[in-house]
Amino acid sequence: MMRQFRSRVGALLAIVTMAIVAMLVGGQSPITAAAQSRFVGGDPTRPDSEDMRALRLRFEAGARSNWHSHAGWQIIAAEEGRGRTQVRGEGIVELVPGGSPNYTGPGVVHWHGAAPDEPVVQLTFMGGASGADWFEPVSDNDYQGP
């Protein structure tokens, strides 16, 4: 009976010793090694985002900003309803939920707002330098487009 007990204790010590050696050689515990990332190729890092701002704007049908430009970049998209935007001298771009967001670079004169017959909730993301230069109101002719 005593010999059987010593044999079991010896086997247990051998297993524990192998586990410790495996952890030292492998550098990780078996439990940690089994954890998986939710990303392929490494986990992403989070660079500083202090120069970014995000907000929602609701424009009622027919409402729009004046012509303006931003010191930094701007990305806008429609969350609800229908909107539109236009860079001075270019065509009107429709904004709809699920549609492509619209990027405007620093210093580009543009306007944005709702469609003539439908309000829009606009998601706005701005980055880089802050500040805006404001110009004249958007005329009805520019707003209606060709």
Contact 70, 106 (CB under 8 A): yes
Do 11 and 80 lie in a common domain?
no
- Whether residues 72 and 128 share a domain: the answer is yes
The CA distance from 37 to 70, in Å, is 39
Residue 119 near residue 59 (C-beta atoms within 8 A): yes
Whether 83 and 116 share a structural domain: yes
47 part of a folded domain: no
Gyration radius (Cα) of the chain, Å:
30
pLDDT of residue 12: 45
Task: Kindly give, in sequence order, each residue whose CB lies less than 8 Å from that of residue 89, ignoring residues fewer than 6 positions away.
Answer: none
CA distances for 36 relative to 26, 29, 63, angstroms: 17, 14, 49
My answer on whether 58 and 127 are in the same domain is: yes
- In this structure, the answer to whether residues 67 and 118 fall within a common structural domain is yes
pLDDT of residue 43: 87
pLDDT at 36: 66
In DSSP terms, which residues pair with 76 in a beta bridge? 102, 124
Query: Could you tell me which residues are beta bridge partners of residue 85?
Result: 93, 112
What does the alpha-carbon distance between residue 125 and residue 132 come to, in Å, rounded to a whole number? 14
Q: Which domain holds residue 94?
A: 52-144
**Cβ–Cβ under 8 Å, residues 62 and 84:** no
Residue by residue, pLDDT tens for the chain (146 residues) are 555 545 554 544 445 445 554 554 555 444 545 566 788 888 888 888 889 999 999 999 999 999 999 999 999 999 999 999 999 999 999 999 999 999 999 999 999 999 999 999 999 999 999 999 999 999 999 999 87
Q: Taking the CB of residue 22, how many other CB atoms lie within 10 A of it? A: 13
